[in-house]
Amino acid sequence: MGKKIFNYLILLALLPAICFAGNLVIKESAPEIYIVEKGDTLWDISNMYLNQPWLWPQLWRTNVHITNPHLIYPGDELRLRINEDGEPVMVIVREAIKAEIKISPGGNKVLKPAEPIPILPWSLIKPYIEHDMIMAQADYDRHPYILGNEEGAVHFVTDDLVMSKSIRGNADNYQVVRQQNEIYDLHGNLLGLQVRHLADAIPFESKLDKQVLIKIKRARFEVKRGDKLIPATKDTADAMELIPADQQRGYIVDDLEQHNLLGKYNVVILDLGGQDLTAGTVMGVYAQGPNIIDTDKPQYEGENNFLSNAFSRGDEILQPALKVGELVVFKVFDKASYALITQSTKIIRRGAIVAKP
């Protein structure tokens, strides 16, 4: 008897109900009026009104004066209304946004524009936005590295002057980084190297030929010989917008905190990169149970000994992938990305499927 693999079960499980603008569903507990507070996140506010927070922009469809519904500021008054067509809409009451006055170290007053609330909890994703990245092996290998210093030290900290291999280009600021882990997909293919930002550095004027002097600045960890130097970049989540995934499908291949069991607010690594999605992509998380061998005594694949499985004549039934959570991608690399689990109804493990929410 041939194996019967019920792929249609997965298709049904991965195909969530479509919610058009005409039947946007508002939670019964949604407040009619809400004042945005400092410390709020757009995801939390969206989740306050909708079971599908990524549909947030649909609530703003009649607000022609709002150019970006993802830019919400503390003090904004959100009013939930029903329009003449019976559709729920969000109306905003906003005073003129005032710039904050900051006093510089020199005593000068500096006007700083008011900042919108973040989409995700900034305290949770900031370390990974600013200090973690995934690089291709070849890209990592081509960068120069720390050689040592005149004292023969093997560890270096803030304000230490060290020598490195010569630097290509003329950047004013650099980051000292170190490889932490190799990231693989579920088939064993290398997706890239997980790299940690150790310190900042600036080139120090010298007349060396094939080497250069570097001054270590703001060291977060001790710098060692062999650590790499890359041009400094500043990554932010300011331009992130919530966009539901459509046809993309991938897997959770690792996490950044070395947890075997994952849940809400854990940061995970997906095997999807810049060609597949952008920061702000919302995806559902789906768990799939082991295959079932349908015999007189049903069993899970691999449950009994090898000989029993080898001679089993039963059908192999593929279990449906059931939704167990949601996540939002917040940093994208070439072949992988970082995402924050924003909701989980069950424990999430490495190998979970990610697809349209």
Full 3-state SS string of 165-215: ECCCCCCCCEEEEEEEEEEECCCCCEEEEEEEEEEEEEEECCCCCCEEEEE
Tokens standing for residue 170: 């003329």
The pLDDT score that the predictor gives to residue 22 is 46
Contact residues for 276 (Cβ-Cβ < 8 A; gap 6+): 248, 250
Question: For the residues 70-76, what does the mean pLDDT come to?
Answer: 88
The model's pLDDT over 200-240, given as tens digits with 9 standing for 90+, comes to 999 887 677 778 889 999 999 999 999 999 998 876 665 68
Q: pLDDT confidence of 78, banded at 50, 70, 90? A: very high
The CA distance from 335 to 164, in Å, is 29
The pLDDT score that the predictor gives to residue 210 is 78
Q: Has residue 13 got a pLDDT over 70? A: no
The CA distance from 244 to 65, in Å, is 24
The pLDDT score that the predictor gives to residue 356 is 94
Question: For the residues 189-200, what does the mean pLDDT come to?
Answer: 95
Higher pLDDT, 4 or 243: 243
Contact residues for 253 (Cβ-Cβ < 8 A; gap 6+): 183, 184, 185, 186, 191, 269, 270, 271, 336, 350, 351
The pLDDT score that the predictor gives to residue 338 is 96
The CA distance from 46 to 53, in Å, is 5
- Summary mean pLDDT of the chain: 82
Query: CA 250, 256, 259: angle at the middle one, nearest 5?
Result: 95
Cβ neighbours, 10 Å, residue 53: 23
Q: Has residue 8 got a pLDDT over 60? A: no
Q: Has residue 57 got a pLDDT over 80? A: yes
What does the domain layout of the chain look like in residue ranges? 125-231, 243-355
Question: For the residues 329-357, what does the mean pLDDT come to?
Answer: 94
Q: Distance from CA of residue 65 to its chain's centroid?
A: 30
Q: pLDDT confidence of 293, banded at 50, 70, 90? A: confident
Report the DSSP beta bridge partners of residue 339.
268, 329
The CA distance from 79 to 53, in Å, is 17
Q: Has residue 251 got a pLDDT over 70? A: yes
The CA distance from 104 to 111, in Å, is 10
Question: For the residues 31-53, what does the mean pLDDT come to?
Answer: 92
Asked whether 51 and 25 are in contact (CB, 8 A), the reply is yes
- What CA–CA distances, in Å, run from 198 to 56, 126, 169, 227? 38, 15, 21, 9
The pLDDT score that the predictor gives to residue 122 is 87
Q: Has residue 143 got a pLDDT over 90? A: yes
The proportion of the chain whose per-residue pLDDT surpasses 70, expressed as a percent, equals 80
Query: How does DSSP classify residue 295?
Result: S
Q: Has residue 15 got a pLDDT over 90? A: no
Q: pLDDT confidence of 99, banded at 50, 70, 90? A: low
The CA distance from 217 to 158, in Å, is 5
The CA distance from 69 to 76, in Å, is 12
